[in-house]
A = this chain, B = another copy of it.
Amino acid sequence: MTELETLLAEQACERLIHGFARANDGRDFGTLAAFLAEEATYARPTDPNNPIQGREAIVASFLARPATRITRHLFSNTVVTVESATDARAVSDVVLYMGAAVEEGVAQAEPVLVGGFEDRFVKRDGQWLFLARKGSLALKA
């Protein structure tokens, strides 16, 4: 790969991480599904040893979460490592703010969770997708 190709792949994978956070927090599960390989696995930070298997099951697990919750998954320190033209991985830290939705005004956040994600990506039909996401928790604030 050229340096430019590597840079474009890094950028595409970081974009997936940010886009997934936004789709998750915005309950836009169609967009979220389009970011996942069909055989993708997803392990939530709160349950890192029980990965959900397959895009369909992952989306179903997100749909099952109550719409009355507000979440913000804030990613930082992402480092993407491109392993080939079609394989990459990344590590990130994440801060999770969440609270019950309110009719008016701004929702009150519950204690904040600080953790991370280890991600694997695959490129198919010209598009980078999540192959595996593994969350973890480090601290609650």
Q: Which A residues contact B (CB, under 8 angstroms)?
A: 3-4, 7-8, 10-11, 15, 18-19, 21-22, 25, 70, 72-79, 91, 93, 95, 97-99, 106-109, 112-114, 137-141
Contact = CB atoms under 8 A, between A and B. Distances in A.
B21 A137 contact: no
Given A70-B138, A109-B112, 7 more contacts: A7-B11, A21-B77, A21-B93, A22-B77, A72-B114, A99-B139, A106-B139
Name A's interface SS. strand
A91 B22 contact: yes
B79 A76 contact: no
Contacts of A140: 106-109
* For the complex of A and B, 5 pairs with smallest distance between CB atoms: A109-B141, A18-B77, A109-B139, A74-B76, A106-B137
A7 B10 contact: no
Contacts of A79: 15, 18-19, 22
12 contacts: A10-B11, A15-B79, A18-B78, A25-B93, A72-B138, A73-B77, A74-B93, A95-B95, A97-B138, A106-B139, A107-B140, A109-B140
